[in-house]
Amino acid sequence: MSDSNQLRDLANKSSRSTVAVIDAMTQRGAFKGEELSTIGGLRDQCIAIIQLCEQMAQDEAMDDGE
């Protein structure tokens, strides 16, 4: 596995875990009101990373299929 594939896999897994932790902590009321925008921004960034990783994997699969 190339370094870029390893990086993509790690970023995808880390981002998914971060979203899961944020969602669980939010449901349990773990954040103060003034922290919500920062936490929401972090969650949005992780979602963007997940989407990019999925798009890259789809593009790579299409290139392999051709």
The CA-atom distances, in angstroms, between 46 and each of 2, 18, 53, 61 are 22, 7, 11, 23
64 pLDDT above the threshold of 90: no
pLDDT of the residue at 23: 97
Domain range enclosing 50: 3-65
pLDDT of the residue at 20: 98
Helix (H, G, I), strand (E, B) or coil at 29: coil
Domain count, the chain: 1
Over the stretch 5-51, which tens digit does the pLDDT of each residue have? 899 999 999 999 999 999 999 999 999 999 999 999 999 999 999 99
Q: What's the burial of 6, exposed, middle or buried (CB within 10 Å: 0-12/13-18/19+)?
A: exposed
**Its pTM surpasses 0.95:** no
**What are the helix and strand counts (H, E) for the chain?**
2, 0
